[in-house]
A and B are shown apart, each in its own frame.
Chain A
Amino acid sequence: MENSIQIRHLYVSYDGQNVLNNIDFEITKGKLVGIIGPNGAGKSTLMKAMLGLVQTDKGEISIFNKQIKENRRKTAYVPQRATIDWDFPITVKDTVLIGTYPSLGILKRPGRKEKEWALECLAKVDMLSFKDRQIGELSGGQQQRVFLARALAQKVDLFLLDEPFVGIDATSEEMIIKILKELRGEGKTIIVVHHDLSKAEKYFDEVLLLNKELIAYGPVRDVFIPKTIAKAYGGQLSFLEDMVMPT
């Protein structure tokens, strides 16, 4: 099986504080993977490392068997909602149109073809009727769907989503997970940072349990066992046990 992403002995630190320690794994193509762990486990840092946005102390990351630098346009990123300025003067359709920028290169502007494609992507997340709204006028779930549409517009093989289900309605959550599963069906790889253990089994093919180091990685059934959960979450175990342990 071909790898979409491969990480070898990755170390990352901020101001001398270790954030990621000897992370080592590979994800094969066509998988929907959840990165799960407690607050401060380094989930977002790992995702930023996969985007080539953090300085690493040691280790190698390759995307589709090439260095990140050479394969940047194969990856789309859906940011945490909290990091976006929702008052920015931009409409829904222009937000999705940004997804076509990477393939256009510098100086070239999006033309009719790109605009039609952006609208098509907007239709996939069922947000076409909102195309002329300012992004701040949408609900949280709608905002998340628009950013997913932007990622679709990038026509990539690897999708990275940072906490896409935080603060959104159930309909949007279901629609997003449905689209992610469709993408997986097309052979795309999707990696989702997720802080909640409860729905992991329903959503993901595999989960990666992280707390500064890689605790366990594999099918949900194999990873979510008391030993690994205890290692990742420490004292919070008793409360979690009730939630995730299949009875």
Chain B
Amino acid sequence: MMNFIEAIIQYEFLQKALITSVMVGIISGVIGCFIILRGMALMGDAISHAVLPGVALSFMLGINFFIGAVVTGILTAVGIGYITQNSRVKNDSSIGIMFTAAFAVGIILITFLKSSSDLYHILFGNVLAVRPSDMWMTLIIGLVVLGSVYLFYKELLVSSFDPIMAEAYGLPNKMIHYFLMTLLTLVTVASLQTVGIILVVAMLITPASTAYLLTNRLSIMIFLAMLFGAISAIVGLYLSFTFNLASGATIVLVATALFILTFIFSPKQGVLWRSMKVRKQKIRVS
């Protein structure tokens, strides 16, 4: 443990890695809460994959890869919505069709870039190679995401909980959906460096689901998800540094461990507590 702390103080690359992955843990926790409450976990997976061709194109054109990522991410979200609304193909199937297509295009584009190490890093992340510009970008995205959720908390809450009422009193539900998809692409791009495209969905869904098992209030759920995301990042980075493990995968597994602990021990929803209640009841009536 002391080694890790000393190393952080000593090595700038480790400081950047820590700051970036904690920020990613926090913002993916926040957005993840809305993703799971809207039943869009699969959509989170889809958008994170759909970012790949945008990133590749941006590299080719020499532009900032945020622009490309947001464009292909949103295009995929629109395509999914269009297919679902205009055919009998169900939502999960149209998600599957669109995101695999986008991902396949991305893989082909990346092979044109000639560097397979780029693809590897985009897919699996490489938190120890975070550049200062990446860190600043992540911080800016973080501020945008947190600021948006803070400002529009009320609107996000009502459109997630009761979209019919939201629309009836004049909220633009569709716009809110695509706004959320935009935030989702931003979070995905921010997490390219830390956990990579393949595992982004874990950072979106796992800490938020852990929080979901612990509270009955959305605001607390969001704070807990941020906390679990940050803890996963710190502990994951520590374990990855100490035992020389792949950083993204380690962060994800810490998040999973937190989920399993909560799943078993949560006071209200945990399986342990529930089975104890069932047994007590059985004894009472026998």
B218 touches which one: A53, A89, A101 (CB < 8 A)?
Answer: A89
Within 8 Å CB of A134, what residues of B? 216
Number of A-B pairs, beta carbon distance below 8 Å: 67
B167 in contact (CB, < 8 A): yes
Within 8 Å CB of B216, what residues of A? 89-91, 134
**Contacts known (A72-B170, A106-B155); A84 close to B162, Cβ less than 8 A:** yes
Mask, B152-169, CB within 8 Å of A = 1, is 111101101110110111
Determine the distance from Cα of A53 to Cα of B220 in the docked complex, in whole angstroms: 32
**Contacts known (A73-B169, A89-B218); A53 close to B164, Cβ less than 8 A:** yes
A102 in contact (CB, < 8 A): yes
Query: What is the minimal beta-carbon distance from A30 to any residue of chain B, in angstroms?
Result: 22
B221 A79 Cβ-Cβ under 8 A: no
Within 8 Å CB of B157, what residues of A? 90, 98
A90 touches which one: B152, B170, B212, B218 (CB < 8 A)?
Answer: B218
A107 in contact (CB, < 8 A): yes
**Contacts known (A91-B216, A109-B154); A77 close to B161, Cβ less than 8 A:** no
B91 in contact (CB, < 8 A): no
**Contacts known (A79-B162, A94-B217); A89 close to B212, Cβ less than 8 A:** yes
Query: What is the minimal beta-carbon distance from A16 to any residue of chain B, in angstroms?
Result: 13
Determine the distance from Cα of A48 to Cα of B167 in the docked complex, in whole angstroms: 11
B215 in contact (CB, < 8 A): yes
A39 in contact (CB, < 8 A): no
Interface size class of A (residues with CB under 8 A): 20 to 34
**Contacts known (A101-B154, A106-B155); A51 close to B218, Cβ less than 8 A:** no
Determine the distance from Cα of A107 to Cα of B151 in the docked complex, in whole angstroms: 6
A38 in contact (CB, < 8 A): no
Determine the distance from Cα of A68 to Cα of B157 in the docked complex, in whole angstroms: 24
Determine the distance from Cα of A4 to Cα of B87 in the docked complex, in whole angstroms: 38
Mask, A34-54, CB within 8 Å of B = 1, is 000000000000001001110
Residue of A nearest to B166 (CB): A101
B217 A90 Cβ-Cβ under 8 A: yes
**CB within 8 Å of B: which of A11-64?**
48, 51-53
Which residues of B are interface residues toward A (Cβ below 8 A)?
37, 151-155, 157-158, 160-162, 164-165, 167-170, 212, 215-218, 220-221
Given contacts A72-B168, A88-B161, 13 further A-B contacts (CB under 8 A): A73-B170, A77-B164, A79-B165, A84-B161, A88-B37, A89-B221, A90-B217, A98-B157, A101-B154, A102-B169, A104-B154, A109-B153, A109-B154
Pairs across A and B, CB under 8 Å, 16 listed: A48-B164, A72-B168, A73-B170, A75-B168, A79-B164, A88-B160, A88-B218, A89-B212, A89-B218, A91-B216, A94-B217, A95-B161, A101-B158, A102-B169, A107-B151, A109-B154
Which residues of A are interface residues toward B (Cβ below 8 A)?
48, 51-53, 69, 72-73, 75, 77, 79, 83-85, 88-91, 94-95, 98, 101-102, 104, 106-107, 109-110, 134
